[in-house]
Structure 1
Amino acid sequence: MQVTETLNEGLKRGYEIVVPAAELDAKVNEKLAEAQPEVEMKGFRKGKVPMALLKKQFGQRLLGEAMQETIDGAMNKHFEDSGDRPAMQPAVEMVDGENWKEGDDVKVTMSYEALPEIPEVDFGGIELERLVVKAEAEAVDEALASLAETAQDFEARAEGEAAEDGDQVVFDFLGKVDGEAFDGGAAEDYPLVLGSGSFIPGFEEQLVGSKAGEEKDVNVTFPEEYGAENLAGKAAVFECKIKEVKAPKAAEIDDELAKKFGAEDLEGLKAQVSERLEAEYAGASRAVLKRGLLDQLDGLVSFDLPPSLVEAEASQIAHQLWHEENPEVEGHDHDKIEPTEEHNKLAERRVRLGLLLAELGQKAEVEVTDAEMTQAIMNQARQYPGQERQFFEFVQQNQQMQQQLRAPLFEDKVVDHIVEGAKVTDKEISKDDLQKAVEALDDE
């Protein structure tokens, strides 16, 4: 086998690989010899089928396998000997493939972009500022008031008061289609919060203004995509008898509220809220710290970037931003989105930092554990209520999805590793100032 370099320009590499026909033939014979003892064929005892007959029967298929294995072996040996790491899957093409016939040498071209050499970085020269925010009493009180709203109760309105949006109406109802009652269309003492969207579109709005003791017909049309085929698209009348109209009332901020949220008493709930707030502040602070670190790293290193990676990243950025600006377009059958100079510049930064962090993580032997991956999958699965198991199984069988989940975990662990070796100064600030710092991240 012969490997000849045809291109060495920047990070671009090109090679021609020639596999002699005799080498392929020897490999096919080797495969046939390995298989011969187990081959059974009519007219011959097991293991006694002549090699010539085996070659006639299986030679073509084994020749294809031999070609693939030989070329793969040549590529692997090249990368092992050269130390090159391809930025993307190498492009491999057979020369004169249409005209090739058995007995000819095999010529293959291989081209790729090599990953660059990453320079050393002195973490000790990196200085970072970590923003620290304490959970002040005012913020805790605001959070408690929000919890009280979510735990709201309802109390009866004064006699004769009409129901408003957000009120709870307790009523009996009987639904009919074409004058006939249907299964599941009736209930007694049903508590419905107006505006909750619990019922068919158009139903709840018609109960706004109703009063306790009134009887009212609600006219609606079931959606065309309604689950029950016998009701889909049908007009219906619901005979409603209003029994109570209740206005929302925020829960009292007391020990009873605390118990609803798993705390022993109000002081315990305040401690929980304070801890949660400071965890949120710490998460926001980390985002600001990480951006500061990446900005410094971006200014510390400079190396050639594989054009294919930059182009792919720029296209992805342009595509994502276009969809954010055109949310009404859900599919991807639109015209090609051409990256701008700004997209290319951002892509260069992302690729440069991505390669740097990958190199630093590899040298530091940073790994994402199975437990961390499982937790990440579980967190993602919560976005699909009722389908968590299916999502989990989907991720287990999808390498690309696993990589999408592993990449940010790996990056965060590398960032933590770098921060440990950097000079970090804590600075205590207010919640508002932290909010401004976070908002500034989006403006950059």
Structure 2
Amino acid sequence: MQVTETLKEGLKRSYTITVPAADLDAKVNEKLLEAQPEIEMKGFRKGKVPMAVLKRQFGDRLLGDAMQEAIDEAMRTHFEKTGDRPALQPKVEMKDGETWKKGDDVVVEMSYEALPEIPEVDLSAIKLERLVVKAEEDAVNEALESLAKSAKNFEDRRKGAKAKEGDQVVIDFVGKIDGEPFEGGSGEDYPLELGSGAFIPGFEEQLIGAKVGDEVEVKVTFPEEYGAKHLAGKEAVFECTVKAVKAPKPAEIDDELAKRFGAENLEELKSQIRERIEAEYANASRQVLKRALLDQLDSMVSFELPPSLVQAEAEQIAHQLWHDEHPDHQGHDHEKIEPTEEHVKLAERRVRLGLLLAEIGQKKNVEVTDAEMTQAVINQARQYPGQERAFFEFVQKNPAIQQQLRAPIFEDKVVDAIVADAQVTDKEVSKDDLQKAVEALDEI
């Protein structure tokens, strides 16, 4: 077997791999000898079928396997010897494929772009500032008030009071289409919060201004995409009797409220809220820290980038941005989106940082555990309620999706490893300052 270099230009590589016909024939004979003891054929005892017969019967099929194995072995040996790591799957083409016949040598052309050598980075020289925000009492109180509103009760309004948006009306109702009641269209003593959107569009608004004892005809049209197909798009009249009009009353902010949310008392609930708020601040602060880190890393290294990776990333960026600008266009039946110079520049940064982080992660033995992958799949599956099992099976059968889920976990773990070696200074700032820093990330 012979491997001959035909191109070495920058990161571009091309080689000719020649597999002699004699080597292929030897591989076929080797496979036949391995299988011979187990083969049974009419007219021969098990394991006694002559090699000539076996070769005539199975030779062509085994020849294809032998060719693939020989080429794979040559490629594996080549990469071990040269240390090259292809940026993408190498392109392999058989020369003279149309005229090749059994007994000829097999000659293939292998071409690829090699990943570049990644320079060493002194992580201890990186200086970062971590923004720290403490949860102010006003933020805790605001969260408490929000919880109290969500735990609100309703109390009867004075006699003769008209229902307002936000009030709760207790109603009996009968829905009719073409004068006939329909299944599922009736209810008694139903508590309906006006403005909640619990009923179909246009229903709740028509009860604003109603009083206890009023009989109101609510006229609505079921949406075309309504779940019950026999009602979709139909006009209906609901005969409603108002039995109570109640005003919302937020719950008292006290130990009882705390217990409703799983805390022992109000102080413990406040502590939990404070921790949650500060965790949200910490996540936002991490975004700012990560951007600052990536900016520094980008300025610290320079190396040649595989053109194919940059082009693929630029096309992906252009495609995604086009869909962001055309949210109503769900499919991909549009003209090819050509990347701009700005897209290419961003792609170069992403590819450069991606290769650098991968190199650092490898040197630091960063790995994504099975538990982390499982949690990532669970989190993603929640976006498909009722189809979680199907999503799990889809992920198991799709390595590309697995890689999409693994990549951000790996990146975050590498970032954490780099931050651990860097010089990090904590700086206490206000919530507004942190908000401005987060907003600035979108401007870059």
What is the DSSP-based 3-state SS (H/G/I as helix, E as strand, rest coil) of the residue aligned with 2:145? helix
Tell me how far apart the structure 1 counterparts of residues 351 and 143 of structure 2 sit (CA, whole Å): 40
- 1:180 maps to which residue? 180
- 1:314 maps to which residue? 314
Cα drift, residue 340 of structure 1: 1.2
Question: 1:98-117 maps to which residues of 2 (within 5 A)?
Answer: 98-117=98-117
What is the DSSP-based 3-state SS (H/G/I as helix, E as strand, rest coil) of the residue aligned with 1:443? coil
- State the AA in 1 paired with 2:120: E
What is the DSSP-based 3-state SS (H/G/I as helix, E as strand, rest coil) of the residue aligned with 1:190? strand
CA deviations on 1:129-157 (whole Å, 9 max, x unpaired) are: 11111111111112212222222332333
Unaligned runs of 5+ in 2: none
Decide which moves more: 248-257 or 336-345.
248-257
Tell me how far apart the structure 2 counterparts of residues 339 and 103 of structure 1 sit (CA, whole Å): 48
- 1:363 maps to which residue? 363
Tell me how far apart the structure 2 counterparts of residues 33 and 177 of structure 1 sit (CA, whole Å): 80
Decide which moves more: 131-140 or 111-120.
131-140
- 1:118 maps to which residue? 118
Question: 1:119-134 maps to which residues of 2 (within 5 A)?
Answer: 119-134=119-134
- 1:274 maps to which residue? 274
CA deviations on 1:295-350 (whole Å, 9 max, x unpaired) are: 11111111110011111111111111111111111111111111111111111111
What is the DSSP-based 3-state SS (H/G/I as helix, E as strand, rest coil) of the residue aligned with 2:189? strand
Decide which moves more: 408-417 or 49-58.
49-58
Tell me how far apart the structure 1 counterparts of residues 425 and 230 of structure 2 sit (CA, whole Å): 67
Q: 1:145 and 1:27, CA in 2 relative to 1: closer, same or farther beyond 3 A?
A: same
Question: 1:397-412 maps to which residues of 2 (within 5 A)?
Answer: 397-412=397-412
- 2:208 maps to which residue? 208
- State the AA in 2 paired with 1:45: R
CA deviations on 1:351-393 (whole Å, 9 max, x unpaired) are: 1111001000100111111222222222222223333333333
- 1:22 maps to which residue? 22
- State the AA in 2 paired with 1:310: V
Q: 1:219 and 1:439, CA in 2 relative to 1: closer, same or farther beyond 3 A?
A: same
Q: 1:223 and 1:259, CA in 2 relative to 1: closer, same or farther beyond 3 A?
A: same
What is the DSSP-based 3-state SS (H/G/I as helix, E as strand, rest coil) of the residue aligned with 1:188? strand
- 1:323 maps to which residue? 323
Tell me how far apart the structure 2 counterparts of residues 248 and 101 of structure 1 sit (CA, whole Å): 86
Tell me how far apart the structure 1 counterparts of residues 237 and 287 of structure 2 sit (CA, whole Å): 54
- What's the TM-score once normalised by structure 2's chain length? 0.95
Tell me how far apart the structure 1 counterparts of residues 105 and 205 of structure 2 sit (CA, whole Å): 79
Q: 1:233 and 1:48, CA in 2 relative to 1: closer, same or farther beyond 3 A?
A: farther
Tell me how far apart the structure 1 counterparts of residues 186 and 40 of structure 2 sit (CA, whole Å): 72
Question: 1:249-268 maps to which residues of 2 (within 5 A)?
Answer: 249-268=249-268
Decide which moves more: 68-77 or 201-210.
201-210
Decide which moves more: 232-241 or 411-420.
232-241
Unaligned runs of 5+ in 1: none
Tell me how far apart the structure 2 counterparts of residues 138 and 216 of structure 1 sit (CA, whole Å): 44
Tell me how far apart the structure 2 counterparts of residues 372 and 24 of structure 1 sit (CA, whole Å): 45
Q: 1:195 and 1:46, CA in 2 relative to 1: closer, same or farther beyond 3 A?
A: farther
- 1:340 maps to which residue? 340
Tell me how far apart the structure 1 counterparts of residues 417 and 442 of structure 2 sit (CA, whole Å): 25
What is the DSSP-based 3-state SS (H/G/I as helix, E as strand, rest coil) of the residue aligned with 2:111? strand
Decide which moves more: 218-227 or 19-28.
218-227
Tell me how far apart the structure 1 counterparts of residues 270 and 431 of structure 2 sit (CA, whole Å): 18
Cα drift, residue 415 of structure 1: 0.9
Q: 1:419 and 1:399, CA in 2 relative to 1: closer, same or farther beyond 3 A?
A: same
What is the DSSP-based 3-state SS (H/G/I as helix, E as strand, rest coil) of the residue aligned with 1:173? strand
Decide which moves more: 71-80 or 164-173.
164-173
- Aligned pairs, number: 444
Tell me how far apart the structure 2 counterparts of residues 311 and 179 of structure 1 sit (CA, whole Å): 64
Decide which moves more: 238-247 or 421-430.
238-247
Q: 1:255 and 1:15, CA in 2 relative to 1: closer, same or farther beyond 3 A?
A: same
Question: 1:55-134 maps to which residues of 2 (within 5 A)?
Answer: 55-134=55-134
Question: 1:349-428 maps to which residues of 2 (within 5 A)?
Answer: 349-428=349-428
- State the AA in 2 paired with 1:146: S
Cα drift, residue 255 of structure 1: 1.5
Question: 1:220-239 maps to which residues of 2 (within 5 A)?
Answer: 220-239=220-239
Provide the aligned C-alpha RMSD in A.
Answer: 1.7
- State the AA in 1 paired with 2:114: A
Identity among equivalent positions (%) equals: 76
Tell me how far apart the structure 2 counterparts of residues 69 and 154 of structure 1 sit (CA, whole Å): 76
Tell me how far apart the structure 2 counterparts of residues 14 and 227 of structure 1 sit (CA, whole Å): 59
- State the AA in 2 paired with 1:385: P
Tell me how far apart the structure 2 counterparts of residues 385 and 154 of structure 1 sit (CA, whole Å): 32
Cα drift, residue 232 of structure 1: 3.6
